[in-house]
Amino acid sequence: MAGEFELIDRLRQQVQSHPNLRLGIGDDAAEVLFGKNKTPVLVTVDMLMDQVHFDLANTDPRLIGRKALAVNLSDIAAMGGEAIAIVVSYALPKGAGDHGTGDQLAEQLHQGIVELAEQHQVAVAGGDTNSWKGPLVISITALGQPVGPKAIERSGARVGDLIFVTGELGGSLAGRHLTFTPRLKEARELVNNYDVHAMIDLSDGISSDLQHILRESEVGAVLHAEQIPIHSDARRSSGDRSPLEHALHDGEDFEVLFTVSPEDAVRLTSHPLLTGTRVTQIGEITAGSEPFLIDQGERRLLTRSGWEHSL
């Protein structure tokens, strides 16, 4: 693959700025301005495909539906937003194998979507169903609104900011990639209590996703290996990667990474989130343009080896 990110860059260059857009291609969601009052609305879409993002033959369809929604809610959270409504599109395989007919499969997928939507008070507004001889594809579009006066962008990180991450990282493919909780509540609490400068959700791994913040904000970063919160799933994962490498590169954690001023960092470190979700300071924003990792006293470039979505 030529690279998902390079392609997005090329598509972005084909689009001009527009008065209806406060923020277009290149963040976790777009921020569109509606009506006379220019009310900001967040919009994001994610498409999940069998054999790329999940394995239908070996997965409960309710979890697949759940994940299709959860990744969208995670993007809304990453904008410092709350989710309002979704629309869902299915391309259903003709004959759904172990999961019955295409219709039965759709009902199970939808059950997973509706349950998660209810948990987050999100309206399921409609959608489109088609069937074909190809594999299952689900696409969900989510609409939301910023919790604060405007969305938190990737471009707001400043030199001297401290970098934080929610939760624990690595080994998500052991199961958490299907069952994770999108960090909407955490994002709301953070935005309501702190001046969050930049935020992104960790879909591809810190080593990839941090680079988006650095590029959009035109800054560098230093991470401290011993501060990275490593999930127990990463310690259990086999293969060539160390637990730290799993935490840095695996992806599909769907935690949020964000930056705040040193003053807010002190407050945040001494006030646990009401949700109980761990928040860990992992590094700082520096001048420059590259991410570095300090590991056992050695400073090295943190290169991108997160995955660009291939199972």
Task: Summarize as ranges the residues that interact with Mg ion (CB under 5 A).
Answer: 28, 75, 201, 203
3-class SS at 179?
Answer: helix
Q: What are phi and psi of 193, to 5 degrees?
A: -115, -15
Contact yes or no for 196/259 (Cβ under 8 A) = yes
Contact yes or no for 223/292 (Cβ under 8 A) = yes
**Nearest-CB residue to Mg ion?**
28
252 is in an annotated binding site: yes
103 is in an annotated binding site: no
Kindly tell me which of 194 and 254 has the beta carbon lying closer to Mg ion: 254
Burial class (CB in 10 A: 0-12, 13-18, 19+), 294: middle
Kindly tell me which of 96 and 165 has the beta carbon lying closer to Mg ion: 165
- Closest separation in Å from C-beta 45 to Mg ion: 11
- Closest separation in Å from C-beta 22 to Mg ion: 18
- Closest separation in Å from C-beta 201 to Mg ion: 4
Query: What CA–CA distance (Å, rounded) separates 289 from 159?
Result: 11
Kindly tell me which of 54 and 254 has the beta carbon lying closer to Mg ion: 254
132 is in an annotated binding site: no
Give the rounded distance of the alpha carbon of 187 from its chain centre. Answer: 12
75 is in an annotated binding site: yes
Can you give the C-alpha Rg of the chain in angstroms? 19
128 is in an annotated binding site: yes
Per-residue HEC secondary structure of 104-147 comes to HHHHHHHHHHHHHHHHCCCEEEEEEEEEECCCCEEEEEEEEEEC
- Closest separation in Å from C-beta 84 to Mg ion: 18
- Closest separation in Å from C-beta 303 to Mg ion: 20
Kindly tell me which of 189 and 204 has the beta carbon lying closer to Mg ion: 204
Tell me the β-bridge partners of 200: 257
Kindly tell me which of 241 and 309 has the beta carbon lying closer to Mg ion: 309
Q: What is the DSSP string of 70-108?
A: HHHHHHHHHTTEEEEEEEEEEEEESS-GGG-SHHHHHHH
3-class SS at 280?
Answer: strand
154 is in an annotated binding site: yes
- Closest separation in Å from C-beta 254 to Mg ion: 8
Reading the block at residue 71, the tokens are 């990744």
- Closest separation in Å from C-beta 291 to Mg ion: 17
233 is in an annotated binding site: no
Which residue ranges are tagged as binding site for ATP?
127-128, 154, 203
From the annotation, which residues make up the binding site? 28, 44, 46, 53, 75, 127-128, 154, 201, 203-204, 252, 307
Q: Where is the binding site for substrate, in residues? A: 53, 252, 307
Binding residues for Mg(2+): 28, 44, 46, 75, 128, 201, 204
